[in-house]
Amino acid sequence: MKEQSKLIRSQAKRSFNREHSVPLYLTSSFIFDDAEQGRAIFADEEEGNIYSRYSNPNTTEFITKVCELEGAEDGLAFSSGMAAVFASFAGLLRSGDHIIACRSVFGSTHQLLTQLFPRWGITSTYVDASKPDEWEAAIRPETKMIFLETPSNPGLELVDLEWLGGFKKKYPHIILNVDNCFATPYLQKPIQYGIDLVSHSATKYMDGQGRVLGGVVVGRKELIKELMFFIRHTGPAMSAFNAWIFSKSLETLPLRMDRHCSNALKVAEVLEQHPEVETARYPFLPSHPQYELAKKQMKQGGGIVTFVIKGGFERAKRFLDALKMILITSNLGDSRSIATHPASTTHSKLSEQEREQLGIRSGSIRISVGLEDIVDILEDINQALIHSK
Ligand SMILES: *Cc1c(COP(=O)(O)O)cnc(C)c1O
């Protein structure tokens, strides 16, 4: 079956009730037919659910769909994107290990790497996404993992996944871990380039409607097995309810992403030409410095557009206040378009120089382009550009 059909047809096994749509399995534990079956399932001799902290039919269905999309061998579902990212480090690394990460990681991932992991003796080095030479120079004997996001948030810089996959030949012991949240597995499939683990905040495009939190990690079977031990005994499991929501939402992921991307490209094209805009950035704009790479590794450019408004910090805030339909909130990947001003919110704790390193200027604005009619999205952005002068 083709990808879109598999997303719809991969379902938990039908029960004796002959339901058409998969029900919600709200149960903490699962019964054994007899004591012997309990023994066999605990001993891994027989497959079966034991307890919803380990597995549940709804989370299994969700994981199956993500594995099919990413081309992964196996996976695990988590209560949030950060629980997934955290586990992908903590479940595999130990004291003394070293991580190389691209500088432009998600805010909470930055706190993990710089504040929490050093407490447990796990250190990290940041490298610039756009400077491949720095990556190899940062490798030490104790380097166990390379972690990155592409496209980055909110700078929309890319890392060449094929080039990164090439590291595997020279450094087979280093785990390559990619947060694929911004692109989604519909647009970009890191595993095909030899990446070992792919993590996601499912909260974003996988839900796509800003309702529930969740995360997922998929990848090589032996790594997922090691992570399974970690989540069985630390408990960051996804709830059955959230898995049920995500699994239903994945049925429409390709349809939604097509529209997010076509709307975002139009927004980027209009912004780039607008007299009140200094620059606009979007992976599928020919002016993007990595346009060729974007076309090589992404099916389309994604749903996020970043632009720099003329007039800096205060003008950017006036622009947000002038928007009528588009709301100011820190989520992304929602059916509703969202605007954020990184310099005054998500990246306000950084110095101006640190922000510059991430491609964030005081007038940078990130738009998560939603699924409204493109006419209304453009009209709102246009009127806010004029009224914020
Ligand atoms: C939102 C996000 C996360 C964290 O996910 P939560 O579901 O909010 O915990 C991690 N990485 C990226 C790139 C994100 O956008």
Residues 208 and 262 in one domain: no
Distance CA(184)–CA(101), nearest Å, equals 20
Residues 37 and 114 in one domain: yes
CA 201–ligand 1 middle distance (angstroms): 5
Q: HEC states along 155-224? A: CCCCCCHHHHHCHHHHCCCCEEEEECCCCHHHHCCHHHHCCCEEEEECCCCCCCCCCCCCEEEEECHHHH
Where does 239-280 have alpha helices with state H?
A: 240-250, 253-273
135-172 pLDDT, tens digit per residue, is: 999 999 999 999 999 999 999 999 999 999 999 899 99
Q: Which pTM does this prediction carry? A: 0.96
Mutation test of ligand 1: which of 78, 79, 82, 153 has the most ligand atoms closer than 8 Å to its C-beta? 82
**What local confidence, expressed as pLDDT, does residue 40 receive?**
97
Residues 151 and 117 in one domain: yes
249-306 pLDDT, tens digit per residue, is: 999 999 999 999 999 999 999 999 999 999 999 999 999 999 999 999 999 999 999 9
Phi-psi region of 110 (alpha: psi -120 to 50; beta: other; left: phi over 0): alpha
Residues 227 and 290 in one domain: no
The Cα diameter of the chain in Å comes to 74
CATH of the domain at 105: 3.40.640.10
Residues 243 and 272 in one domain: no
Mutation test of ligand 1: which of 158, 201, 216, 332 has the most ligand atoms closer than 8 Å to its C-beta? 201
Residues 6+ apart with CB under 8 A from 320: 328, 339, 340, 341, 365, 384
Distance CA(124)–CA(264), nearest Å, equals 34
Q: Is pLDDT of 351 > 90?
A: no
Q: Is pLDDT of 131 > 90?
A: no
**What local confidence, expressed as pLDDT, does residue 33 receive?**
97
Last residue of a domain, one of 250, 281, 299: 250
Tokens of 122: 């796990």
Domain count, the chain: 2
CATH of the domain at 346: 3.90.1150.10
CB atoms within 10 A of CB 79: 18
Ligand 1 surroundings by CB, under 6 angstroms: 80-82, 85, 106, 149, 153, 179, 181-182, 201, 203-204, 213, 215
CA 239–ligand 1 middle distance (angstroms): 17
Last residue of a domain, one of 226, 250, 274: 250
Distance CA(248)–CA(343), nearest Å, equals 35
Residues 74 and 182 in one domain: yes
Handedness of CA 82, 105, 293, 308 (dihedral sign): positive
CA 81–ligand 1 middle distance (angstroms): 5
Mutation test of ligand 1: which of 204, 216, 330 has the most ligand atoms closer than 8 Å to its C-beta? 204
Last residue of a domain, one of 250, 278, 293: 250
DSSP code of 99? E
Residues 163 and 279 in one domain: no
46-76 pLDDT, tens digit per residue, is: 999 999 999 999 999 999 999 999 999 999 9
373-388 pLDDT, tens digit per residue, is: 999 999 999 999 999 9
Residues 238 and 282 in one domain: no
201-250 pLDDT, tens digit per residue, is: 999 999 999 999 999 999 999 999 999 999 999 999 999 999 999 999 99
Return phi, psi of residue 161, to 5°: -70, -30
Residues 175 and 304 in one domain: no
Residues 383 and 238 in one domain: no
Give nearest CA residue, ligand 1 atom 6: 81
Residues 239 and 263 in one domain: no
Domain that holds residue 311: 253-387
Residues 179 and 198 in one domain: yes
Region 97-125: mean pLDDT is 95
Residue 359's pLDDT band (cuts 50, 70, 90): confident
**What local confidence, expressed as pLDDT, does residue 330 receive?**
85
Tell me the pLDDT of the chain averaged across its residues: 96
166-204 pLDDT, tens digit per residue, is: 998 999 999 999 999 999 999 999 999 999 999 999 999
**What local confidence, expressed as pLDDT, does residue 256 receive?**
98
**What local confidence, expressed as pLDDT, does residue 357 receive?**
83
